[in-house]
Structure 1
Amino acid sequence: MPEDREKLVTDALRAQATSSGAHPHVPARPVRPALGAGWVLLLAVLLGLAAGTVVAVITLR
């Protein structure tokens, strides 16, 4: 009986190691390209201007 289990495990491992990968992994969503450094800098400047405007309005009241 143990020889049958060993043969079953051996055959399963061999089949897994020699499989052709007929079902490749497909991601659920397409990968979006990353933002460029220019866009990040522009967003940082706009966010800084908005924050500065809010602080200026609060300070001048």
Structure 2
Amino acid sequence: MPDDQERLVADALRAQATSSGMHVVRSAPAAGEPARPPALAARWVLLLALLFGLAAGTVVAVVTLR
């Protein structure tokens, strides 16, 4: 019972914090549910950012050494 009340309060606070409708916040998983890993799309974005950063660094190094 206290877990339900805590989840209710947490959901209400999240709803109040995001009342503008611009942010979408998922509710916390239930006590027995495992946490989901980050979305696959987020991993691809991070990987592409890393690759573009390495490419930009390589271009700057080549231009500087000429």
**TM-score, normalising length: structure 1:** 0.45
**Larger Rg belongs to:** 1
* Higher RCO, Cα 8 Å, sep 6+: 2
